[in-house]
Chain A
Amino acid sequence: MTSAAPVARPSLRQASGPARRRAAFSGAMNALLAAAVLLALIPLGLILAVIVAKGLPAMNWEFLTGTFNFSRRESGGGYLHGLVGTLYMGGLAALMAIPAGIAAAVFLTEFPRHPVSGPVRFFSDVMTGVPSVFVGLFVYTLLVRRIGFGTFVGAVSLAIIMLPIVVRSSEEILKLVPGELKRASYALGARRWQTVLSVVIPTAAPGLVTGAMLAVARALGETAPLVLTALAANQVVFDLQGSGQSALPLLIFREARGAFEAGQQRAWAGALELMLLVLVLTVLARLIGARRPAGT
């Protein structure tokens, strides 16, 4: 193509009549779309602001380290038993779901044409949409009816919620590992399991950790399945099974719907505590995931 002298682009602002109107309309629509973003961000700001404003005053040392103070009408007492329960069940659930989920994801990426892979991928997708209360019902009928309420069955319900999330996000991360790295490993004589364990996983590690932490953050905030499996507790519980277990979301849920002022204040502090936990995990997860080794 022969080079021509550069043509000055006419600015729409200098146009007249219909072109001007269209430009103005476009500008107005841009503003409208920006307003949509604001409409989403304002509640976010309000949530964070209100939780801090209402939760911080009620969050004192007694709240963080105390348990039920045996009085509905008086303020005081704390949510330590909820914090312990949340961390305990979340940790157990992570132990159950993350290795299994990553292993399943490895299978999906290493053997994509295996007859099992298609259904597993599809049903993982489907399972991410299962209502969490339904998971609780399932664990209730399968386990609680046989071995009672407790920490373990609570953790199982959280693990079931986490599993498909870990599978899907891990699969996406593993797919990003360059084929060349794997082929180079095979060329050096490594078997598949050596390649996966020494090349693929370490390369994908930041992304896998991100996915895992986001799944945990999601599980820590779950309430409904725990109502049906962990039930409740008034003190710190270390038992694995056989007695009820508490969790931050359970305590918040109970006290939020009551009329007692003291209870509502504790609920706000509990919400702040839970939000901090979830936010720290979420932010950490994204930070770790942003660190990608060269080559990916």
Chain B
Amino acid sequence: MTAAPASVGPLAAIRRRRVADPAFRWVLLGASLLVLVVLALMIGSTTLDAIPVFVSQGIWSFLTGTTWDPGFSRTEITGTYQAGVFIYGTLVTSLIAIVVALPVAIGIGLFLTNVAPRRLARPLVYLVELLAAVPSVVYGLWGLHFFAPVVLKPAAQAISGELGWLPIFAGPVIAFNFFFAGIVLAIMIVPIISAIVREVFAAVPEAERQAAYAMGATRWEVMRSVVLPRSRPGIIGATMLGLGRALGETIAVALLIGGGTAINASIFQQGESIAAKIVNTFQESSPEGIDALIALGVTLFALTIVINLAARLIVRRMGDVSGEAVA
């Protein structure tokens, strides 16, 4: 072949396409780094702003004390910031949510993978996923003005009537409390947990299930002796992911938890969560108050990150889970 000058003709076109490749790669790399940069900035800038508060208060005192008395300084930390009440509220509502959501989600997962015929399972999966599409503020409004007064309050009063001698069920039932927030939270996290456990149950080797059937096991016995034991890490991982979501949930909890200022023993009394406190007091906070709220946010973030990381490590041990189910 005769050699043509490199700047003209078909060889030039090939050269241009070849050069475009590294440029393309840089663009894609840049986009990927964006994710890392955003996360690093998030952790970095918020932690930096929070440090003066932690230093002034002392980490142990910040985490366990119960006095939140913001100062009004524009330059230094003068208030008392102890997040015990909010940490307690966050943990209690999330615990209630998990205790209620986990059995339901496992039941859904088992039903859809081992009991329901495929044609029934597909639309049911779709419907359960729809629960995840409802925005948090809608859950809050519905919970506050319908579900709590109409369904949860009578239930709570019944429980409190029978078991009110136990401090955690003591009455009277306040119109906004841990229980209401926790139950609505449970409804919100059921789709997340059930999506993952469904994947986990479906990943149980077919051969083992069939072997159990072949030995005469009933459907339930197969679930109990094959599917569930094999799925334990995945269930734990799914639980922790649901828990992580519950810890960070803001608006529905803010509307239902009651703005309490002290640690109350009964789940039928008011409380306050970290996220709700941030969103409620943000607009009126002085610069030092905002730093204190950031410190609260960093605490919450640390908590949810630890739980999320642990969950993903555990779920990963069960094999790859699709991004759609996890997100």
Contacts and interface: CB of A to CB of B under 8 A. Distances in A.
Nearest to B298: A134
B135 A222 contact: yes
Contacts, number: 284
Contact of B138 (A26, A51, A120, A131): A51
Interface stretch (A30-38, A69-77, A235-243): A30-38
Nearest to B42: A138
A132 B29 contact: no
A276 B247 CA distance: 27
Contacts of A106: 28
A107 B127 CA distance: 33
B190 to A, nearest CB: 5
A40 B131 contact: yes
A39 interface: yes
B279 interface: yes
Pick from B27, B31, B127, B324 the residue with the most CB of A within 10 Å. Answer: B31
B218 A22 contact: yes
Contacts of A133: 248, 250, 275, 278-279, 297, 300
B107 A33 contact: yes
Contacts of B232: none
B187 A43 contact: yes
A12 interface: yes
A42 B309 CA distance: 32
Given A37-B107, A134-B248, A44 B300 contact: no
Contacts of B28: 103-104, 106-107, 110-111
Interface string A110-127: 110010110110111111
Contacts of A231: 283
20 contacts: A12-B218, A26-B220, A30-B220, A35-B107, A39-B104, A41-B124, A54-B146, A103-B27, A116-B32, A120-B32, A126-B312, A131-B250, A134-B42, A137-B294, A172-B323, A217-B133, A222-B135, A227-B282, A228-B282, A253-B140
Interface of A: 12, 19, 22-23, 25-26, 29-30, 32-37, 39-41, 43-44, 46-47, 50-51, 54, 99-101, 103-104, 106-108, 110-111, 114, 116-117, 119-120, 122-135, 137-138, 140-142, 160, 163-165, 167-169, 171-172, 191-194, 196, 211, 217, 220-224, 227-228, 231, 249, 252-253, 256-257, 264, 267-268, 271, 274-275, 278-279, 282, 286
